[in-house]
Amino acid sequence: MKHSPHVSICIELPLIELRPEGLYCPSGNFYVDPWKPVERAVVTHGHADHARWGSKFYLCAKPGEGILKVRLGKDASIQGVPYGEAVHFGETSVTLYPAGHILGSAQVKIEANGYSWVVSGDYKLEPDPTCAAFEPVRCNGFVTEATFALPIYRWAPDSVTFGMINDWWRENSQQNRASILYGYSLGKAQRLLAGVDRSIGPIYTHGAVERLNHVYRSEGIALPKTTYALAATAGKFAGSLVVAPPSMNGSTWLRRFGDFSTAMASGWMQVRGHRRRRAVDRGFILSDHADWPGLLQSVRDTGAETVWVTHGYIDPLVRWLREQGLAAEGLATHFENDEDLQSEPLDSEPITS
């Protein structure tokens, strides 16, 4: 990636630039999702690659404030603001809009001197009962993710995917077998819980999932009754669903469940090779990121003339955008290509309300 195109773009639209600490707004003196500690951070959502510890002040969307407190610690200085409510840093206005990724996820609109930029963070367009729906935001410049920016990635409706998940669980239940369903503990796990047919059987959760379930419930998100797996009696899991982070696959944590079948819920399950590498019995295609058509639609809806593309399949999306006549560039950031497959802490202490 050449640096000079980014410099010329910043001179024309001086609202945002890439610095060693992250995406920086000079006129407002703040960073968006910085990967190093800074004085003032505006955070798009609570996943670990976007909400990093060590900054002096954090601004986030109000529904995500509880998540950031879990992630960053009770001593972190965090201000949550409602979606659509502007905050001013000097002459610069910052407004957060729903990104549809997880609870509290936000796009950051930055306005000053007659220009506007939107930093999307991670986002998806599919409806999700566990978070506010994605809202297109008009702007001059748009910073978008590209996690699934290849034409092969096209998501089926949730009703189809959850129908397959429920059929798998129901078949296992009829065989007195536990169903271990892997999904990232923040966002994906809660979306799975909200979408499954709770009448099939009891639902248990890994501690990392259950800890964040409490945050979701405190924000009024309806989730089925769940039981912390380590608090349950061994040998009682036949026919149940167990929702756990992917890092538990193949671990000794699974021994308590007796006979079981495993499955992974991720956009990466679109490709058979990913499923084989994860060594699971089933793969369900369910992502909290936009698919290829969703990415293209989102860029069109912004009306942006300039688009910066980060983390994921950057080159194919940049190439397509340039073919449409847009000024598109790739940015080398520290954001992860996929939060679904990150490792997470092992289960430890019991969860209390």
Quick one: how far is CA 90 from the chain centroid? 30
Average pLDDT for 31-45 = 97
Give the pLDDT score at 272: 77
Instruction: Please check the confidence at residue 39 and state whether its pLDDT lies above 80.
Output: yes
Tens digits of residue pLDDT in 122-165: 999 999 999 999 999 999 999 999 999 999 999 999 999 999 99
Average pLDDT for 222-238 = 90
Return d(Cα 291, Cα 151) in angstroms, integer: 8
Question: Token digits for 254?
Answer: 């699974």
Which residue's entry shows tokens 């905050």?
87
Give the pLDDT score at 7: 36
Average pLDDT for 178-185 = 97
Question: Token digits for 205?
Answer: 């959760």
User: Is-contact 308 327, C-beta < 8 A?
Assistant: no
Residue of 106, 126, 147 lying closest to 309 (CA atoms): 147
Q: Which has more pLDDT, 343 or 240?
A: 240
Count CB-CB contacts under 10 A for residue 248. Answer: 21
Return d(Cα 327, Cα 308) in angstroms, integer: 8
Instruction: Please check the confidence at residue 235 and state whether its pLDDT lies above 90.
Output: no
Locate the domains of the chain by residue range. Answer: 4-152+288-341, 158-284
Q: Please give the model's pTM, rounded to 2 decimal places.
A: 0.91
Percent of the chain with pLDDT strictly greater than 70: 91
- Confidence grade of residue 24 (pLDDT, cut at 50, 70, 90): very high
User: Is-contact 15 71, C-beta < 8 A?
Assistant: no
User: Is-contact 208 309, C-beta < 8 A?
Assistant: no
115-119 and 106-112 strand pairing: antiparallel
Tens digits of residue pLDDT in 247-301: 999 999 999 999 999 999 999 999 877 767 778 999 999 999 999 999 999 999 9
Q: Which residues contact 76 (CB under 8 A, 6 or more apart)?
A: 53, 58, 68, 69
Average pLDDT in the chain = 91
Return d(Cα 38, Cα 30) in angstroms, integer: 8
- Confidence grade of residue 340 (pLDDT, cut at 50, 70, 90): low
Question: Which stretch of 72-81, 110-119, 272-281 has the lowest confidence by average pLDDT?
Answer: 272-281
Q: Which has more pLDDT, 181 or 4?
A: 181
| 3-class secondary structure, 40 | strand
CATH number among 2.130.10.10, 3.30.70.980, 3.30.540.10, 3.40.50.10890, domain 158-284: 3.40.50.10890
Return d(Cα 25, Cα 17) in angstroms, integer: 7
User: Dmax over Cα atoms in the chain, in whole Å?
Assistant: 65
Assigned superfamily of 4-152+288-341: Ribonuclease Z/Hydroxyacylglutathione hydrolase-like (3.60.15.10)
